[in-house]
A and B are shown apart, each in its own frame.
Chain A
Amino acid sequence: QEFTMAIAHLAPEDMDNEIQPALVHFKSLVESKTKGEVEVEIFGAGQLGSEVETGKQAQDGALLQSTIISSGAMSSFFPKYQVITAPFLFPNYEVAHAFFDGAWFANFMKGTIEESGLRYLGTFDDGGGFVAFTNNGKPIKTVDDLAGMKIRVEENPAHVATMKALGASATPLPWGEVITALSTGLADGQFNAPGVSKNYSLWEVNDYTTLSGHVYNSQSWLVSEEWFQSLPDEYKEAVVTSAREAIELAHGISALAAIKGWQVSCEEFKECYVLPAEERTKMAEIARPAWQEWIVNDFGLDAALVDELFATVEEIKGDVTATDMERYGK
């Protein structure tokens, strides 16, 4: 073959997550479209290094051509990406998918090419996107229940700011320390997509779980711009179109992980609770302004970008609903 596209990701190399199966499908698409001239190699389970490390390896496309990294790592290559960590950004999957697959976001992500030589191919809904709290003490049913609770967050300043705004105390820890931290009380709780609760049996260390959806966990799929530009146009097309198809399949797979994860959570945790819409609104009204102040004043992002983001999501929400009703509701 002429070209090799080695892709790194952190998920296990089994079919229980959304990334590996999507990449397996991507591999067969690309290899058949290019008659094997572009060979795809998949390295899962963090074999080639952490997210930031594989991001660096992929930058000039020599060592590695592609990688999939979560929002914290993404922000270290493209600081503006922090804006996507806005709390309560999406009301549901339909809007989230329409946003990540829409024109505004594709254009926004062009920025990673200039800033770090990485081209954006698509977004995976990390383990199911919308997060659920898992915690000890008492079930989180209102924002007041979060007061004084020690919630583990990713080493991502946006999450720290959001948790502080909600009255919790944020404990940033790498994932490797989380189970220990929860079982020992260093942290009272954490939040992740329900699929994570299932994969790591978090009910063994936490009693309660609350589906709050205050954060949408995502992973960005990146490819080295230098390598991408070295491809003939037809191969570029094969890579891009196959990636988009793989992403579309992954949306469904991760939703399945979230549904399964939540079902098991309700069987295994002492109590499971879905935060009602009015309580989500209440939380959002507290978290949004605090987060906005942090990202503009402390993090130094342009306030106009934040407004533009919110406006875009609102617009998409309106469009999606209108289209749905137009096509199927009349």
Chain B
Amino acid sequence: MTSAISVFIVLLFIGTPIALLMALSGLAGSWELGGLRFIQIIAERMFSGVSGYLLMAVPYFIFTSELMNQAGLTERLVAFNNALLGRIRGALSHVNIVVSLFFSGLTGAAITDTVAVGKILIPAMKREGYTPAYAAAVTACSSIIGPIIPPSVVMVVYAAILQNVTVLDLFAAGILPGLLMTVALLVASFVMAWIYKFPRHGDTNLRDAARAFLPTVPALLVPVIILGGILGGLTTITEASAFAAMYTLILGFFVYRTLTLRKVWESLVATVRFSGVVFFLLASSTVLGWFVTRSGLARDAAGMITAISDNWIVQIGLVNLLLILLGTVLDVLPALVVVAPVLVPAMVQLGFDPLHFAIVMIITLNVANITPPVGMTLMTASQIAGVPYERAIVTALPFYLSHLAVIAVVSLWPAFVLFIPSLFD
């Protein structure tokens, strides 16, 4: 145990790539546990980590999202939202949040989602007089809605590792919390718009909005196709996501007429790169995860939680605190791979609903994207905005509060999470 932890900390501080340090610290721990012979686990686990049949959906999702970017969907979404919200004080700030509701979550790496929205909206916001720090904060803090609203790579990965909930249930359970997250961020955005006297974007009427809305309709159908394909009994998730990619291809070529073969090739190459990020984290985290389980730590987790308190509110509060702390140094996927196999069985044993806890865990870890020191999304957004990371962190405080409120509601009110999935039973 000690060698795993010390290797982890040392490598973290000397700037070793996170995926590499997950594997190496897992190996260090395994070595301590079972001698040199245990090192061989690297081959079997790296292989198993990327063998789940559900993982087929990962490249399909990423390809779909790359195609949507290349086909200019983001611009269309922004245009529609501008037309809809333009007259309201702080329009672009609200637009930034609402666009994130529709966009993303397909790539698994929140950073790409931030870049896609940020490169359009951050310059526009700066032009209208928002501080760069605020533009970065609102972009980053809202881009993490993506993995909560289906479809979502993070949820696919969760279902692939844990296998105690279905992807479909996760997707269904994510809808209400995702909407709540949007509302909570909008509340913060409205309050700040009122305090800091943010500008309006421009006058538009509903007809303009309707006209801007039409071109976005076919693209907004992508999640509907993925969910509908499975719900309607037509197909499995992998086939639905393959179909979504094909649909986007047709859309880009024949409806928007913005795709070219060259752009498709570029999307494919980009898909390989981003899939590589997801798969690397998955494979190497599986090595560390195996050590954590094999060493018996997982078995004691439930006992350790009960030892602290029998009260379920205290228990889930503690777990949330742990997840948030973990999220400060880890990205979402590695945190999920290492911690979920330890925590989930423990929490289920303590009486928590597997689906409810899955959503709590995904939402809480998702905040890791914007918490320092390693908060990839916020780092990215502040670089795009050209503002020091620290200043963006401070400006993001009101949004942290709204995320905390969402975590609290989702944790303490299981029925809220389980309502939509219960409609399918």
**Which A residues touch B341, using CB under 8 A?**
47
- Knowing A46-B163, A62-B34, A204-B425 are in contact, say whether A184-B294 is a contact too (CB < 8 A): no
The verdict on A232 contacting chain B, using a C-beta distance below 8 Å, is no
Q: Which of A173-181, A212-220, A322-330 contacts B (4 or more CB under 8 A)?
A: A173-181
**Please, how many angstroms separate the alpha-carbon atoms of A43 and B294 in the complex?**
8
- Cα(A43)–Cα(B299), bound, Å: 9
Min CB gap A226→B, angstroms: 11
Q: How far is the CB of A14 from chain B (nearest CB, A)?
A: 8
Cα distance, A204 to B423, chains bound together (Å): 12
Docked Cα-Cα span, A180 to B298, in Å, equals 29
Nearest B residue to A185 via CB reads B233
Q: A13, B345: Cβ atoms under 8 Å?
A: yes
Output the least CB separation between A60 and chain B (Å): 8
Q: Mark A27-64, 1 if CB is under 8 A from B, else 0.
A: 00000000000000101011111100100110000110
Which B residues touch A43, using CB under 8 A? 293-294
Pick the contact of B48 from A53, A179, A186 — CB < 8 Å? A53
Q: A53-B44, A63-B44 are in contact. Are A176 and B163 (CB under 8 A)?
A: yes
Residue from B34, B236, B296 having most chain A Cβ neighbours under 10 A: B236
| Chain B residues whose CB sits within 8 angstroms of the CB of A57 once the complex forms | 41, 44
B37 beta carbon closer than 8 Å to chain A: yes
B294 in complex: contacting residue of A6, A45, A56, A176, CB < 8 Å: A6
A176 adjacent to B159 (CB under 8 Å): yes
Assembled-state Cα–Cα distance A177/B169 (Å):
11
Cα A48 to Cα B161 in complex, Å, equals 11
Residue contact A63 to B40, C-beta cutoff 8 Å: yes
Question: In whole angstroms, how far apart are the Cα atoms of A6 and B290 in the complex?
Answer: 13
Please, which residues of chain A bring their CB within 8 A of the CB of B168?
180
Q: Is A156 an interface residue (CB 8 A)?
A: no
Interface residues of B in 19-65 (CB under 8 A from A): 34, 37-38, 40-41, 44-45, 48, 53-54
- Once A and B bind, how many residue pairs between them come within 8 Å at the CB atom? 69
Tell me the minimal C-beta distance from A115 to chain B in angstroms: 19
Answer whether A48 and B290 are a contact pair too, CB < 8 Å, given A62-B40, A183-B424: yes
Measured between beta carbons, the chain B residues less than 8 angstroms from A184 are: 230-234
In the bound complex, CA of A63 to CA of B230 (Å): 39
Chain B nearest CB, measured from A134 CB (Å): 16
B258: chain A residues within 8 A (beta carbon): none
In the assembled complex, the Cα of A176 lies from the Cα of B159 at a distance in Å of 9
**B interface, by DSSP: helix, strand, loop or mixed?**
helix
Q: In the docked arrangement, what's the CA distance between A57 and B286, Å? A: 14
Contact of A45 among B37, B237, B345 (CB under 8 A): B345
A48 touches B40 (CB 8 A): no
Query: A176 vs B163: C-alpha distance in the bound complex, in angstroms?
Result: 6
Is B235's CB within 8 Å of the partner chain A?
yes
**With A and B bound together, what is the CA distance between A133 and B53 in angstroms?**
25
Q: Give residues of chain A (119-166) contacting chain B, Cβ–Cβ below 8 Å.
A: none
A13: B residues at CB distance < 8 A: 345
Q: Closest residue to B160 on the A side, CB-wise?
A: A176
Is residue B166 contacting chain A, with contact meaning CB distance below 8 A? yes
Partner of A56, one of B44, B54, B290, B345: B44
B296's partner among A41, A56, A63, A180 (CB-CB below 8 A) is: A41
Taking CB atoms, residues of chain A closer than 8 Å to B298 are: 47
Closest CB-CB distance, B327 to chain A, in whole Å? 23
Q: Which among B163, B235, B293 is the interface contact of A48 at CB below 8 angstroms?
A: B293
B206-247 Cβ-contact flags toward A at 8 Å (1 or 0) = 000000000000000000000000111111110000000000
Contact partner of B236 (CB less than 8 A), chosen from A41, A47, A177, is A177
Q: Is the CB of B38 within 8 A of A47?
A: no
- In the docked arrangement, what's the CA distance between A183 and B40, Å? 41
Distance (whole angstroms) from the CB of B308 to the closest CB of chain A: 21
Q: In the complex, A180→B57 CA distance in Å?
A: 16
A50 to B44, CA, bound (A): 11
Contacts of A49 in B (CB 8 A): 44-45, 48, 290
Among A46, A173, A184, max chain B CB count under 10 A is at A184
Q: Which residues of A contact B (CB under 8 A)?
A: 6, 13, 41, 43, 45-50, 53, 56-57, 62-63, 173-177, 179-181, 183-186, 204
Some 11 contacts from A to B, beta carbons below 8 A apart, are A13-B345, A47-B293, A47-B345, A49-B48, A56-B44, A62-B34, A176-B166, A181-B236, A183-B233, A183-B424, A186-B235
Additional A-B contacts beyond A41-B296, A53-B44, A183-B424 (4; CB < 8 A):
A48-B290, A53-B48, A180-B168, A180-B237
3 smallest beta-carbon distances between A and B, as pairs: A185-B233, A184-B233, A62-B37
B contacts, CB < 8 Å to A:
34, 37-38, 40-41, 44-45, 48, 53-54, 159, 163, 166-168, 230-237, 290, 293-294, 296, 298, 341, 345, 424-425
